[in-house]
Amino acid sequence: MSTLLRQLFSKYLIITNTVTSGSLLGLGDVITQNLEIEYASRMGTPEQMFDTSRTGRMFLMGLMLGPFGHFWYTKLADKLVVGSGPKVVLKKIGVDQIIFTPIITCLFFGGMGILEGRGIQGATSEIKNNFVAVYSVDCCVWPPVQYFNFHFVPARFRSIYVSSMTLVWNTFLSYMKHRGIATQ
88 falls within a domain? yes
Encode 11-48: b = buried (16+ Cβ within 10 Å), e = exposed. Answer: eebeebbbbbbbbbbbbbbbbbbeebbeeeeeeeeeeb
Q: What is the pLDDT of residue 110?
A: 97
69 falls within a domain? yes
74 falls within a domain? yes
Task: Give how many domains the chain has, as a whole number.
Answer: 1
Average pLDDT over residues 154-179: 82
Q: How confident is the model at residue 182 (pLDDT cuts 50, 70, 90)?
A: very low
62 falls within a domain? yes
97 falls within a domain? yes
Q: What is the pLDDT of residue 5?
A: 63
132 falls within a domain? yes
184 falls within a domain? no
Task: Tell me the pLDDT tens digit for each residue of 79-88.
Answer: 999 988 889 9
**Comparing C-alpha atoms, which of 70, 81, 96, 86 is closest to residue 148?**
86
Average pLDDT over residues 162-176: 83
Who has greater pLDDT, 9 or 108? 108
Q: What is the pLDDT of residue 95?
A: 95
Res 180 pLDDT > 60: yes
Report how far Cα 166 is from the mean position of its chain's Cα atoms.
6
Task: Tell me the pLDDT tens digit for each residue of 10-60.
Answer: 677 899 989 999 999 999 999 999 988 988 888 888 777 999 999 999 999
Q: What is the pLDDT of residue 161?
A: 84
Task: Tell me the pLDDT tens digit for each residue of 123-164.
Answer: 999 999 999 999 999 999 999 999 998 889 988 788 778 877
Range of the domain at 153: 2-178
Q: What is the pLDDT of residue 62?
A: 94
Least confidently predicted of 3-7, 36-40, 163-167: 3-7
**Comparing C-alpha atoms, which of 106, 144, 99 is closest to residue 126?**
106
Res 119 pLDDT > 60: yes
183 falls within a domain? no
